[in-house]
Amino acid sequence: MLINNSFQQKDFTKVVSMQNLSSNEMIIANEDLPRSVLHNINLEIMKGEVWGISGRSVLETKLLLEIMANIKPYKNGKCVLLERGMMRLKRFILPHVFYIGTTSMIYNNMNVLEFLMFATGHKTFDVIRQQDRVFEQLISLGLGNVSLTPISTLTPEYKVLILLLTAYYSTSQLIVLNMQNLEFSDEHIIPIRNISNLIQNEDKTLVFSSFDSDMIESVCTHTAVLVDGTVAYSGDIRNFCKTYDRVVLTVRYHNPEELMSVLQNQLPQFNYSVGAGNSLIIKDYKSDNPNLHLIYKKIAEAGFTPERIIINRKNYKNACEEVIRRYDLQKQLL
């Protein structure tokens, strides 16, 4: 940690607490009655957690994070950040929140190291030592290749990485990254994970919105899924994947419909659906430990020779789809 602040020494466990929060902004679609973009939002985020907010609508996730960072006011409910209540209508920059919502806040006329020194070094007397630390940290985070690159030549994704690192150097306890329109590849996700580890080690909290399942799965400890302006799920990401990803096997076969009809008769305890690329997706809603051997045996006995059988590792994407599916189902029933 490069900058110390007495503020950090206070022990706040709950970083964000939203209770029955609804937004000022409403949406009217197809001549329906207006509904709040966000309503009945209940969310609790603790110190040292990394949250990925996902969902079906960019509008909802973007607005939620803006309210969380006190960029936008909210209408009803309660929002407490680090045990300090936020005024509903005022939207000052809060000292304990670092919000990244655009790459235009970075200075293009510097290189990466220079910018980080500009941002962090103005109160440091030992500039040489400070620069050594920053430079070494860039290398250790996997950003050594861009450390002397002019910022103007960086992609927006790399700029976000630099901003995230700057946020880590700040005294803010809560870092909010609201850039879901960017596409992060592996070369970005690895440094993001490294930075998020640093943030966690400092007992700070990172909340970001993303529609990239791989990124959320790779970086986050917790997640929240927004559907139709409300939180459909919030909590631990492992538990989320375990609970909601019910896919057990994906079988590739040239005629998945035929395979499905056979298996439906023989193994009715499973749920079957045809997926993309001639694949049969087999889900198990009844057991957490399905008998995969039995499925394989039945396929072989029926004389099918699948091109590929993939055992599903519980993943975020499937879980997210499942949560949304259940939400829609529940909504239809109501």
Partner 1 sequence: MIYKSSYFKKELRQAYIENKISLRKQFFLGLFMGLVAIAVHFMLQTMIKSVFGERMPHLMQQSYFTTLYTFTFISLFLYLLYFIFLYDTLSFTEIRKNRWYLLVKMGYNPISMIFAKLSALFYSMIIIYTTGFAVTMLMTAFLKYNFFYLYIPALYLVGLLDFLVLGIVILTASLFFKQRNMCRYFALFAYVIIIALRYASGYQKIVSNRVLMQDFYVLFRFDRCIYLPVIAAIVFACLVICFLKAGDIAKYYSVSYENYADFLPENAQLVTRDDNTGRIRSLITPDLSARRSKIFDMVATASLALVVCLAVAFNIFVILISTSQPGKEVTIRGTIPYIFVSETMQPTIMENDLAYFRRIDPYENVNVGDIVLFKDENTVYIERVVTIEDDKYIVDIDYYPPAAQKGAMIKTVDREDIYGIYKGASRWLGALILFANTIFGRFVFLFVPVLMLFYYKQAKMIFISLLEATSDDG
> Which residues would be at the binding site for partner 1 (CB under 8 A)?
3, 24-30, 34, 37, 57-59, 62-63, 66, 69, 71-72, 91-93, 98-99, 101-110, 113-114, 117-123, 127-128, 131, 159, 163, 166-167, 169-172
From the CB of 77, what's the least distance to partner 1, in Å? 14
Nearer to partner 1, 119 or 248 (CB): 119
| Inter-residue contact 316 to 243 (CB < 8 Å) | no
From the CB of 58, what's the least distance to partner 1, in Å? 4
Give Cα 292 to chain centroid, integer Å. Answer: 31
Closest CA to 250 of 192, 313, 300, 184: 313
| Inter-residue contact 142 to 191 (CB < 8 Å) | yes
Nearer to partner 1, 67 or 219 (CB): 67
Closest CA to 38 of 54, 24, 51: 24
Closest CA to 100 of 143, 71, 135: 71
Nearer to partner 1, 169 or 253 (CB): 169
Nearer to partner 1, 35 or 298 (CB): 35
Bridge partners, residue 234, by sequence: 224
Q: For residue 23, what are the CA distances in angstroms to 13, 67, 73, 78, 162?
A: 25, 8, 8, 11, 31
From the CB of 189, what's the least distance to partner 1, in Å? 22
From the CB of 131, what's the least distance to partner 1, in Å? 6
| Inter-residue contact 56 to 233 (CB < 8 Å) | no
From the CB of 146, what's the least distance to partner 1, in Å? 15
Nearer to partner 1, 99 or 184 (CB): 99
From the CB of 28, what's the least distance to partner 1, in Å? 5
- Rounded to the nearest 10 degrees, the angle between the axes of helix 156-169 and helix 112-120 is 30
At 139, phi and psi to the nearest 5? -65, -45
From the CB of 65, what's the least distance to partner 1, in Å? 11
The helix or strand, by DSSP H or E, that contains position 14, with its residue range, turns out to be: strand 14-23
Strand 174-177 relative to strand 271-275: parallel, antiparallel, unpaired? Answer: unpaired
Nearer to partner 1, 43 or 160 (CB): 160
Nearer to partner 1, 62 or 246 (CB): 62
Distance CA 106, CA 164 (A): 11
